[in-house]
Every structure is written in C-alpha cells, then in structure tokens.
C-alpha cells in the first residue's frame, strides 16, 4: 500500500467519536444515510439534475428520518460534501417490558440497559409486546445515531 492511501484506508483514531462524517454528495446512494436539516435520514430517492444546460450536476435527495419517519428533502451540488450520520445498531436480548414504557435489555457483557423507551406508535408497540407476551426469546436491534436511539427490529431466536 502506498502512503497516499494509507491515509484514506485507515480511519483516524479519534474519528470513532464523531457523530457525522463528511462525504461527497455524488457518492451517496439510495438506501444510504444522510443528514438533512440536522436529522439522520435514510435516502429513499436520489436524482441528479443540471443547473442550466452547461452547468454542474446537483443531487436531489429525498430522505426519511430514521427516528420520526418524516420525509425531508435537500439539494446539494454533487461535488460538495454532505454530512453522513454514523448509524450504529446493537443487538440486545429483551429481558423485560416495564409498565412505564421502558424496556430492560441484556448487554453483551452481562449488564442491563434500562434507559430505552418503547416506541409510542401502537402497532409497533403491540408487535413487541405480543411477541414478548408469547414468551418467545426476543432479540431487539437498537439503532442509534446522533445521540438518539430506537428499537428498529426484533427477531425470535428461541428454540422451536
């Protein structure tokens, strides 16, 4: 490996702490993530257009806020940088659902994590609660980005 790419291939040691990363707008694709109006979004549509016939390309993004599901849009010249959120997902085993709407989760190192609230939306809530009530062994995936977290998926791992 030559020196020039060393810099590129290895990420800086302190970069892990950053909540967002800059990335050229042209490289952001459908199904990727982007920050629009300071919200982390999943990109559901990208289109490029030109500014005038002999101008440069621009990207038009339609994103859906990964936490609130609100639709957001942005237009950025394709050679400029956009912020891309650092989206992390962690799996936890679901231990308990408390009355006040919090869940109790088992972390990898054996501790519990009790600060996560259940979603407020009814249908999501019932999906989680019903599964739990049936006594299945549930693993929940918790998605976190830019200081927020939310349950994004659940999975039955119990024996049949």
Partner 1 sequence: MQGFPERGGPGPGPGPNDLAHLQATMHTIELACASIQMHINPAAAEATILSLCQSPQPYKSCQFILENSQVPDARFQAAAAIRDAAIREWGFLTADDRRSLLSFCLSFVMQHASSNEGFVLAKVSSVAAQLMKRGWLDTTAVEKEAFFNQVNQAVLGIHGLDVQFTGVNFLESLVSEFSPSTSSAMGLPREFHEQCRRSLEIDYLKMFYCWARDAALSVTNRIVESKSEVPEVKVCNAALRLMLQILNWDFHLNNNSVKTSINVFSAGARLDIDSSKRSECTLVQPGPAWRDVLISSGHIGWLVNLYAALRQKFSREGYWLDCPIAVSARKLIVQFCSLTGTIFLSDNGQMHEHHLLQLLSGIIEWIDPPEAVAKAIGCGKSESEMLDGCRALLSIANVTTPFVFDRLLMSIRPFGTLTLLSTLMCEVVKVLMSTYPEEETWSWEARDILLDTWTALLVPLDSTGGNAMLPPEGINAAGNLFALIVESELKAASSALTDDVDGDYLQSSISAMDERLSSYALIARAAIHVAIPLLTKLFSERFARLNQGRGIIDPTETLEEVYSLLLIAGHVLADEGEGETPLVPYAIQTYFTDNMGADEHPVIVLSSSIIGFAEQSLDPKMRASVFSPRLLEAVIWFFARWSCTYLMNPEEVRETQSQDHQLQSQQLRKGLHSFFREHNQGKLVLDIIVRVSVTTLLSYPGEKDLQALTCYQLLHALVREKHICVHLVSLDSWRNLANAFANEKSLFLLDLAHQRSLAQTLVHSASGLINSEASNQYIRDLMGHMATYLRELSSKNDLKSVAQQPDIILLVSCVLERLRGVATASEPRTQKAIYELGFSVMNPILVLLEVYKHESAVVYLLLKFVVAWVNGQISYLEAHETAIVVDFCMRLLQLYSSHNIGKISVSLSSSLLSEAKTEKYKDLRALLQLLSSLCSKDMVDFSSDSIETQGTNISQVVYFGLHIVTPLISLDLLKYPKLCHDYFALLSHLLEVYPETVAQLNSEAFVHVLGTLDFGLHHQDAEIIDMCLRSLKALASYHYKETASGKTGLGLHAAGHKDSGGNLQEGILSQFLRSLLQLLLFEDYSPDLVGSAADALLPLILCEQGLYQRLGNELIERQANPTLRSRLVNALQSLISANQLSSTLDRINYQRFRKNLNNFLIEVRGFLRTM
Query: Of the candidates 101, 133, 134, 157, which one interacts with partner 1 according to CB under 8 A?
Result: 157
* Cβ 63 vs Cβ 34: under 8 Å: yes
Nearer to partner 1, 111 or 120 (CB): 120
Residue 116 interacting with partner 1 (CB under 8 A)? no
Q: How far is the CB of 154 from partner 1 (least distance, A)?
A: 5
Token code pair at residue 71: 């639709």
Residue 5 interacting with partner 1 (CB under 8 A)? yes
CA 69 to chain centre: 12
Give the interface segment with partner 1, choosing from 58-66, 93-101, 109-117 (CB under 8 A): 58-66
Give the interface segment with partner 1, choosing from 31-39, 98-106, 109-117 (CB under 8 A): 31-39
* Cβ 9 vs Cβ 49: under 8 Å: no
Buried b (16+ CB within 10 A) or exposed e, 131-155: bbeeeeebbbebbbbbeebbbeebe
Based on C-alpha coordinates, what's the Rg of the chain?
A: 20
Residue 113 interacting with partner 1 (CB under 8 A)? no
Nearest to 77 by CA among 121, 26, 115: 26
Token code pair at residue 57: 């390309």
Nearer to partner 1, 77 or 102 (CB): 77
Give contact residues for partner 1 (rule: CB under 8 A).
Answer: 1-2, 4-5, 8-9, 11, 15-16, 20-21, 23-27, 29, 31-33, 42, 44, 47-50, 52-57, 59, 64, 66, 68-69, 77-80, 84-89, 119, 121, 124, 127-128, 141, 143, 151-157
């Amino acid at each position: 490996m030559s020196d020039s790419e060393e810099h590129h291939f290895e990420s800086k040691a302190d970069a892990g702490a950053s909540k967002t990363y800059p990335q050229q707008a042209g490289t952001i694709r459908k199904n990727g993530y982007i920050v629009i109006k300071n919200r982390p979004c999943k990109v559901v549509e990208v289109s490029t257009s030109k500014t005038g016939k002999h101008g440069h390309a621009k990207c038009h993004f339609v994103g859906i806020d990964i936490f609130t599901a609100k639709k957001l849009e942005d237009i950025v010249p394709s050679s400029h940088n956009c912020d891309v959120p650092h989206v992390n997902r962690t799996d936890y085993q679901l231990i308990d659902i408390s009355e006040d709407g919090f869940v109790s989760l088992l972390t990898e190192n054996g501790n519990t994590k009790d600060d996560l609230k259940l979603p407020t939306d009814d249908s999501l809530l019932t999906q989680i609660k019903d599964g739990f009530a049936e006594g299945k062994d549930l693993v929940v995936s918790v998605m976190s980005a830019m200081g927020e977290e939310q349950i994004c998926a659940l999975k039955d791992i119990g024996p049949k």
